[in-house]
């Protein structure tokens, strides 16, 4: 199985809501990533988990809270978001700490009203 | 600060021609460089990786070069097809733990 799945595909939420994005992989990859992508811009790194531990936080606001409950799952908990947080949120995985390619999921299109 | 620039305008070429995309970077020395393809509303898909000690890499109709002196990578698609239309992202990377993408080039291949 060489697939990274993300749920939901689309999410609309109000600024007071709490929601979560989910990412799942069964490739045995030990590095997992969250990216944010705005229209006509490249993906921007948010968080990196290595062996289920948070290794990089690119100064992301605390209204975004990542979680890696096990080696196959990555969550992004959302709370009190702003309209400017509307974007495509991408999950990616990579085999270990080496210079390998990343495998991306299809993304969750988030709209904050 | 680090900067990664790709052709800012969309690249329009005719089917069958060779498309050449440029990736220029400044203020760092990547150990390797990756190219990805992204279709609208989808996640990027890995295409090729080239290391700093490699000058050229090929895969089917794709060829990438990496010039560490010029701080530039060129990505070529030969015999281009309409199905090659997409946004292409380069990612020169100095550390194995993270990718930083260039601005991306939108390629449109017409009949």
Of A50, A105, A106, the CB nearest to B97: A50
pLDDT grade, residue A1 (50/70/90)? Answer: low
How many other C-beta atoms can be found within 10 angstroms of the C-beta atom of residue A16? 8
d(CA A62, CA B98): 21
How many other C-beta atoms can be found within 10 angstroms of the C-beta atom of residue A1? 8
User: Would you call B89 and A42 a contact, using CB atoms and an 8 Å cutoff?
Assistant: yes
d(CA B94, CA A113): 38
pLDDT tens, position by position, A14-72: 999 999 999 999 999 999 999 999 999 999 999 999 999 999 999 999 999 999 999 99
User: Would you call A99 and B46 a contact, using CB atoms and an 8 Å cutoff?
Assistant: no
User: Would you call A102 and B46 a contact, using CB atoms and an 8 Å cutoff?
Assistant: yes
pLDDT, tens digit only, all 111 positions of chain B: 789 999 877 999 999 999 999 999 998 888 899 999 999 999 999 999 999 999 899 999 999 999 999 999 999 999 999 999 999 999 998 877 788 999 999 999 999
């Amino acid at each position: 199985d060489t697939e990274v799945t993300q749920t939901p595909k689309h999410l609309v939420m109000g600024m007071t809501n709490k929601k979560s994005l989910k990412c799942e992989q069964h490739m045995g990859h030990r590095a997992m990533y969250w990216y944010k992508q705005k229209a006509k811009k490249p993906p921007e790194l948010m968080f990196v988990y290595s062996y289920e531990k948070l290794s990089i936080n690119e100064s992301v606001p605390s209204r975004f809270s990542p979680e890696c409950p096990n080696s196959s799952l990555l969550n992004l908990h959302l709370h009190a978001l702003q309209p400017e947080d509307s974007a495509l949120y991408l999950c990616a995985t990579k085999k270990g700490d080496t210079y390998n390619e990343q495998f991306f999921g299809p993304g969750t299109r988030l709209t904050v009203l | 600060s680090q900067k990664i620039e790709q052709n800012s305008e969309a690249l329009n070429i005719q089917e069958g021609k060779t498309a050449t995309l440029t990736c220029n970077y400044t203020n760092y020395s990547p150990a390797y460089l990756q190219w990805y393809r992204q279709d609208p509303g989808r996640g990027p898909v890995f295409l090729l990786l080239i290391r700093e000690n490699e000058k050229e890499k090929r895969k089917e109709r794709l060829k990438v070069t990496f010039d560490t002196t010029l701080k530039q990578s060129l990505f070529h698609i030969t015999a281009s097809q309409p199905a090659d239309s997409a946004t292409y992202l380069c990612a020169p990377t100095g550390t194995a733990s993270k990718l930083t993408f260039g601005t991306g080039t939108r390629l449109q291949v017409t009949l």
